[in-house]
Amino acid sequence: MADPKKIAPGNIDGDFFVDTTCISCGNCRDLAPENFAKLGGYYVISKQPQTKLELKQVIDALICCPLGSVGTTNPELKHEIAQSISRFPELIEKDVYYLGFNSAQSFGGKSYFIKHPDGNWMVDSPKYSPRLVKFIEEHGGLQNIFLTHRDDVAEAREYAQKFRAKRFIHQADLEAQKDAEIVFSGIEVFNPHLQFKIIPTPGHTMGHSMLLYDEKFLFSGDVFTSCTYTCDAIEAWPPFYCWQSWDEQTKSIARLLSFNFEYMLPSHGKRLYRTQNEMKEALKQCLSNCQNEKDPDPVTLARAIAFDEIALWAKQSGQNDYAKFALKKAESIRQKLNSEG
Ligand code: SF4
Ligand SMILES: [Fe+2]
């Protein structure tokens, strides 16, 4: 629960606040774009909710915050908050759900659920929560867990054990889930089912991959965001967040142009719906922007520190190769900074 004694600096006074446990994952802003904004190292309440819709969205953000960093000082809202929990998992369309209950272990990334007659799927892992376990049981269990990349495995193992589900992960990111049942490799498309395509998209990490369902839903992991919260263009996350290679990621985006889809469902960032043609045009523009990126491998102290933090997190989660890779990256950035004086 968020602590009113630890309110982060910059919150606008009112019923809701963000405290200093915030890890700046941005999920609150994805869910309530009018009311949250980044300020320094934290997201804060930039505007207290003023309409019913804003109130609903801020409560959604409160429920889905991976750290429980969003709180309220208004006891009268507690009943409403308890009721709102029943909104999750949230149906997106047809048989695809946003699960909510984002996990801090995957830096607050979103995870999804697909109900399918030949076996249900989870994409990346939320917190292991009794509410989600019950939801999955009521929807026919869980047969497949697709892991987009090493950063977002969270509690996938617990879900796999509980439901005897098969976990899919790319060989290059296997260290994050060594006992995964299905391991694919290379950059060729892997078809586990007629309606599901696994598309390796290296760049953000070496094993980053996307899942395309029914030529409609693209579960896009950590490559794309939408450029701002008022505009629907697609952008790749800035080079700062590209942990393997911007060039590789750009090639991956170019390969995506041969696929059709209407929904882009990212791990971090806003959900996007477009017609297939509109999506393709937006993707072409995104590709062109990536190809023209002037600073594809930023050499800054902030990025070296980001790699230090990844190394620490990777070590703590037993991903030793990833920890070594991140430390080496941090060291090489520092060397370049020193040589530039
Ligand atoms: S969802 Fe929670 S942890 Fe993530 S940015 Fe918002 S307040 Fe911070
Ligand atoms: Fe990631």
DSSP string, 145-194: EE--SGGG-TTHHHHHHHHTPEEEEEGGGGGGGTT-SEEE-SSS-EEEET
What tens digit of pLDDT does each residue of 142-177 get? 999 999 999 999 999 999 999 999 999 999 999 999
Per-residue pLDDT at 227 exceeds 60: no
Cα–chain-centroid distance for residue 7?
25
What tens digit of pLDDT does each residue of 273-323 get? 999 999 999 999 999 999 999 888 889 999 999 999 999 988 888 888 889
**CA 128 to centroid of ligand 1, rounded, Å:** 18
The ligand that comes nearest to the alpha carbon of residue 44 is 1
Other C-beta atoms lying within 10 Å of the C-beta of residue 187: 14
Give the position, in ligand 1's atom list, of the atom nearest the Cα of 102.
1
Q: How many CA atoms lie within 13 A of 14 on its CB side?
A: 15
228 pLDDT band, cuts 50/70/90, is: low
CATH for 88-291 is 3.60.15.10
In this prediction, residue 85 carries a pLDDT of: 84
**CA 259 to centroid of ligand 1, rounded, Å:** 33
What residue has token string 């799927």?
A: 121
* Distance in angstroms between the alpha carbons of the first and the last residue of the chain: 46
- Stretch(es) of the chain classified as CATH 3.60.15.10: 88-291
Record: fold of 4-86: Alpha-Beta Plaits (3.30.70)
| Distance set, CA 31 to CA 159, 235, 286 (Å) | 25, 18, 23
Cα–chain-centroid distance for residue 70?
19
- Segment 230-236 shows an average pLDDT of 77
Tokens representing 117 are: 């007659």
Tokens representing 81 are: 């908050």
Asked whether 202 and 244 are in contact (CB, 8 A), the reply is: yes
- Stretch(es) of the chain classified as CATH 3.30.70.20: 4-86
Asked whether 260 and 214 are in contact (CB, 8 A), the reply is: no
Give the position, in ligand 1's atom list, of the atom nearest the Cα of 42.
8
| Distance set, CA 8 to CA 3, 39, 65, 182 (Å) | 10, 9, 15, 43
- Segment 193-215 shows an average pLDDT of 97
In this prediction, residue 231 carries a pLDDT of: 63
Rounded to 10 degrees, the C-alpha dihedral 95/100/106/109 comes to 70
* Ligand 1 lined by 223 (C-beta under 6 Å): no
* Ligand 1 lined by 98 (C-beta under 6 Å): no
Cis peptide before 89, with omega less than 30 degrees from 0?
yes
Q: In three state form, how does the secondary structure of 73-124 look?
A: CCHHHHHHHHHHHHHCCEEEECCEEECCCCCHHHCCCCCEEECCCCCCEEEC
CA-closest residue to ligand 1 atom 4: 25
* Ligand 1 lined by 323 (C-beta under 6 Å): no
Asked whether 26 and 59 are in contact (CB, 8 A), the reply is: no
Compute the distance between CA of residue 305 and CA of residue 333 in angstroms, rounded to an integer: 10
- Segment 43-49 shows an average pLDDT of 96
Q: For a substitution probing ligand 1, which of 6, 17, 28 has the most ligand atoms within 8 Å of its CB?
A: 28
What tens digit of pLDDT does each residue of 248-274 get? 999 999 999 999 999 999 999 888 999
* Ligand 1 lined by 44 (C-beta under 6 Å): no
Q: Which of 230, 232, 235, 220 is nearest to 288 (CA)?
A: 235
